[in-house]
Each structure stands twice: as C-alpha cells, then as structure tokens.
Structure 1
Amino acid sequence: MNSYAVPPTRREAVVRQLREEIISGELPPGTLIKDAEIAARFGVSITPVREAIAQLSVEGLIDIAPNRTRHVTKVTQKNALELIDVMQVLACAGFEWGMDNLTETHLETMRQRQREFVEGIRSGNMVAATAAGADFSTVVILASGNRELQSMVDLVVARTTRILAQTAESDLWQIWIEGHDGVLAALEGGDTEGALRRYRQIYADYRAKVATLMFGA
C-alpha cells in the first residue's frame, strides 16, 4: 500500500491519493477503477472509496459510464483545449484582480514557489512541481479576496494538470518556467500591466504547444 498523509476523513484521504496517482500518470487515462481493489490497497471500507470516486468524477478525473463502470478520464484534443481555455479565463481574471493587492511578502512567496517548481521538474518530482506551479498563481488569485474563484480554478487545474504532468523533459514545462520568471520580473519592476500581459501569454503559448505537441494540430 502506498504511504500517504491521512487528512481529516478517510474519504479525503482516498480522494487525495487517487487524485495524485491520476495527475502523476501512475493511473493512466482509461484505467479501470474497481472499488474493492482500491479499498483493499488503501486499507479502507468501500464507502469512502465510492465517495472519493464520486468527487473525482465531479472534478472530471474519473468517467462513470451508464453501466456504472469507472475509468480514468481520457484526454481528447477537444476537452484538453477547452479546459485550457476555461483555466485561462478564470486564472487571468483572478490574476488581474489580485495584482494591485500584492505585497513584498506575496512576491517572496511567489519566488519561493517558482524555485520549488523548477526544482521539482529537475528532480523529476512531477507532483511537487505541479503543486508549486499552481501555488504560484494561487498567491495572486487569493490576493484578490475572491475565494470562490480560487475554488473554481482548483477544479479546472486538477483536470488539466495531467496534460502538463507528462515527463520532466516535456517542452510544456519550459513555457511555465519562462513565463513565471517573466511575470515576477515585471511585478518586481512595478509593471503590473506587463505582468498581466506576460501571464496571459503563458496560456496562449501553452495552448498552442499542447495542440501541436500532443495532438499534432
């Protein structure tokens, strides 16, 4: 059984572990999800497993067929690009709303998350890299004071992360590394408009790269 930190409830523990395995690619798209096998592997009853699967279905990470069989969601070109578009709209709105509220403490946190992001990629720890990369934007979005928006962003990020988390060598990562560096440089120079333009450009570049690299479009 894989080791994992147990959150307040068994359901949350199973959600966290399954989500991590799906995002990291340990459970590839199309993998059949069986309640009994997961319950035995995690040492829990069937009930929290079923509740966790229902939650991950809402997040779009698990598909539940009419016959009730469950599989890890397959990424198609259409849903991948649509998810990127939605993430761009939500994240850029939060970024724009939060920029003027950033303090030096916020910027230092962003610098630290960027260092963790790069280190995670270099060490091949895709889960850590993904979390740090998402937190980079979360700092700004939460500075807007709109926690409901952050909740929506979190849901979309959970579904799109599998596109990013291919391998440490993927060209997709470099778009975010360079983009974050550019955003930080602009913010540190007091150029909030430039920071927003650079942040938006990350998503445009990422979408184009996903379309060509993963789908040959």
Structure 2
Amino acid sequence: MSYAVPPTRTAAVVRQLRNEIVTGELRPGTLIKDAELASRLGVSITPVREAIAQLSVEGLIDIAPNRTRHVTRVTQKNALELIDVMSVLACAGFEWGVDNLTETHVALMRQRQKEFVEALRAGNVLAASAAGADFSTIVILASGNRELQSMVDLVVARTMRILAMTAESNLWGTWIEGHEAILTLLEAGDTQGALARYRQIYVDHRNLVERELFEDQ
C-alpha cells in the first residue's frame, strides 16, 4: 500500500499561488502582500515568503527594488517567444514520434481529447491543461526521447502560466479543433497529414494570442 507524502507548507503555498495565477484568479499586476496571503492560506509568513521567492525565480512574480511584489505582467514579446519555443520543441517531438504510434496510442489520445473537452466544459482549467498536454506527450514519448519531453513540459507549464487562460477563452478552440483533425488523420493512417496539422495548431494559436490578448499593444 502506498501513501502520498504531504507537501511542505512552502510547497503547498507555491502550488496554491501557481494555480491561482494559471487560472487568472490572481491577475497580472496584482499586488502580493505577505501578511494577507498568510492569513488567507492559514500559514505563517515564512512559507509565504519562501513561496514568493520560488515563484519569482519561475518568472511568475516580480519583486521590485523597493521589495513590493506583483504578479508578473504579460507582455506580447514574452508570450510569443514562449509559444515559438514550445512550437519548435513539441513539433520536433511529434515528428519523431508520429510514425511509431500504434492503435493503442491513438485510442489513448482520443481518451485524452475527451477528457480535455469535458474538463473545459466543467470549467476545470488545470485538468484541461493536463489532458491537452498529455495528448502531445503520448506522441513525443513514442519517439523514445524523454529528455525532449522534459523540456517540453517546462515550456508548456511556463506558457500556460503566462497566458492564464480561463475556461471561456477562445484560445482553447484552436487546440480542440486541431486535436480532432489530427485524430481523424491518424485513424486514416495519414501520419504526415497529422504532423502538418499539428504544426498548423501552433501557427493558429500564435496568431490568436497576438490578436486577442495583445490587440492594444
């Protein structure tokens, strides 16, 4: 019988704040106050300060010279550069793995797509993000390159935190439609068509992010 090891208070605060940033509950520019956070989360000041330091390293919280802390503001350059990096890494992994996919792999991708859509309908952004990422992970791991998958995981997580997409965001539609098209192509045995469609997802996603999130910049 296995037991889950409870996180430290600092780890728990990091996870909670990270999730709030991902879901947009803590919006870019929000002032972070140690005492208020400690009171709200029911912990002492120390784990809050340690969590803020960790999230600062991750680029999620900015610490000004006067020591004030704010949730990092999203910039067009920052978001688009992350999408570009994610595209290069993920598309390489998809290309290397797509020809190794079996019927079992494709069936699992179909299941992840279902979970992805259902989580969005339920408003669960974190579950949707995990299921959507797993869709690509299945293909990338089929390439046998686990180091690449580790790098993709880091960039995907960073991108999701920066974009902080809500369940109602129009950006999800690009992935839902793209995944469905890829599955249809894979089920028809057209791996090269599936690869081309996967690449197109990133082109469309980047254009939407630039147009809808940064139209005033």
| TM-score where L is the length of structure 1 | 0.85
Pair 1:132 & 2:120 matched = no
- 8 Å CA contact retained: 1:59, 1:155: no
Mark the runs of 5 or more structure 1 residues left unpaired by the alignment: none
Opposite residue 163 of structure 2, the aligned amino acid is I
Question: In the superposition, relative to structure 1, how do residues 15 and 180 fare at CA in structure 2: closer, same or farther (>3 Å)?
Answer: same
Indicate the SS of the match to 2:70: strand
Count of residues in Structure 1 that have an aligned counterpart in Structure 2: 212
Displacement of 1:7 in angstroms is 4.5
User: Could you say which structure has the larger radius of gyration?
Assistant: 2
Q: What whole-Å deviation, never above 9, does each CA across 1:130-183 have from its counterpart, x for those lacking one?
A: 221122112222333333322322222223225261342x32111110001111
Q: Classify 1:16/1:92 alpha carbon distance in 2 versus 1 (closer, same or farther; 3 Å).
A: same
- Contact 1:172–1:209, Cα closer than 8 Å, also in 2: yes
Change (3 A) 1:151 1:60: farther
Q: The residue matched to 1:212 in structure 2 has which SS?
A: helix
| Matched residue, 1:92 | 91
Which amino acid counterpart does residue 211 of structure 2 have in structure 1?
T
Partner residue of 1:166?
A: 166
Structure 1 residue 52, shift from structure 2 partner: 2.7
Contact 1:81–1:211 under 8 Å retained in 2: yes
Q: Is the 8 A contact 2:23 2:164 kept in 1?
A: no
Distance 1:12 1:144 in 2: 33
Q: 1:127 to 1:14 in 2, by over 3 A?
A: same
Counterpart secondary structure, 1:198? helix
Number of the residue aligned with 2:185: 186
Tell me the equivalent position of 1:49. 48
Does residue 147 (structure 1) correspond to residue 146 (structure 2)? The answer is yes
Give, in whole Å, the separation in 1 of the partners of 2:194 and 2:130.
21
- Quickly say closer, same or farther: Cα 1:178–1:71, change in 2 above 3 A: same
Q: Which residues in structure 2 correspond to 1:38-117 (within 5 Å)? A: 38-117=37-116
| Distance change in 2, residues 1:51/1:192 (3 Å) | farther
Conserved? CA contact 2:124–2:167, under 8 Å: no
Structure 1 distance, partners of 2:9, 2:149, is: 24
Mapped to 1, the partners of 2:86 and 2:207 lie a distance apart of 14
- The one-character-per-residue Cα deviations of 1:96-139 (angstroms, maximum 9, x if unpaired) are 22223333332222111111111122222222222211221122
How many percent identity over aligned positions? 75
Residues 121, 167 of structure 2: 8 Å contact kept: no
Asked if the contact 1:186/1:195 (under 8 Å) is kept, the reply is yes
CA contact (8 A) 1:59 1:156 kept: no
Equivalent residues of 2:55, 2:61 under 8 A apart: yes
Q: Is the 8 A contact 1:179 1:198 kept in 2?
A: yes
> Do the aligned partners of 1:102 and 1:143 also contact (CA within 8 Å) in 2?
yes
What are structure 2's unaligned runs of at least 5 residues? none
